[in-house]
Amino acid sequence: IMQGMNVLEHFSKEDRAELRRLMIDAVLATDMTGHFKHVSEFQSKVDIGFDFEKASDRMVIFQMCIKCADISNAARPQNLNMQWTDRVMEEFFTQGDREKKEGLPISPLCDRKSTNIPKSQVGFMDFIVKPMFTAFCKFMPVFEEVCMPSLQKNRKYWSDKIPAEEEAGD
């Protein structure tokens, strides 16, 4: 898209390369394999304070902003949360269908026959979203009033959909 629109035509070759590097780093930060490392690094920086003169500190903030945006569906109004949950779960199930077709083990949360969507959403919110958003709220307090009420409401919605006997088995 950017090449087609030529939005970078006035950038030097070096600036285009730097922008490309920043974009790649931001996208890679959304990979869940590094999630806990990113959140821990961010939390440490929040605790000691950011040095905004340091590019590495600015990158930690930038990556956390991208990560929050990436999984923000959990903290959006309930109708949007439900729409995005449906979309994400369909993406996971399509992956699981393909894995099954190719004789591969089905990845976690990708088996449409055994995945409990309400339980997966509650776990996602409890172990991924809430800790990350809590850390971000310490850095940007307005984030708490904007996102946390919806996160709590969505968590309750999904939790209420889990039968009591399944919750007791956790």
pLDDT 10s digits, 132-141:
999 999 999 9
Closest to 62 (Cα-Cα) out of 78, 45, 86 = 45
Asked whether 126 and 155 are in contact (CB, 8 A), the reply is yes
Q: What integer pLDDT is reported at residue 6 of this predicted model?
A: 75
Residue bearing tokens 């709590």 = 152
Q: What integer pLDDT is reported at residue 110 of this predicted model?
A: 96
Confidence of residue 170 (pLDDT cuts 50, 70, 90): low
Q: What is the pLDDT of residues 26-42, one digit of tens each?
A: 889 999 999 999 999 99
Confidence of residue 11 (pLDDT cuts 50, 70, 90): confident
Distance between CA 13 and CA 16 in Å, rounded? 5
- CB burial readout 74-111, b (16+ within 10 A) else e: bbbeeeebbeebeebbeebbeebeeeeeeeeebeebbb
Higher local confidence (pLDDT), 4 or 85: 85
167: pLDDT strictly greater than 90: no
13: pLDDT strictly greater than 60: yes
Closest to 159 (Cα-Cα) out of 115, 128, 106, 122 = 122
Q: What integer pLDDT is reported at residue 129 of this predicted model?
A: 97
- How many CB atoms lie under 10 A from the CB of residue 22? 15
122: pLDDT strictly greater than 90: yes
Letter for the amino acid at 21?
R
Distance between CA 5 and CA 35 in Å, rounded? 33
Lowest-confidence region among 9-23, 104-118, 149-163: 9-23
Distance between CA 2 and CA 13 in Å, rounded? 15
Averaged pLDDT for residues 3-31: 85
118: tokens are 């309400």
Confidence of residue 169 (pLDDT cuts 50, 70, 90): low
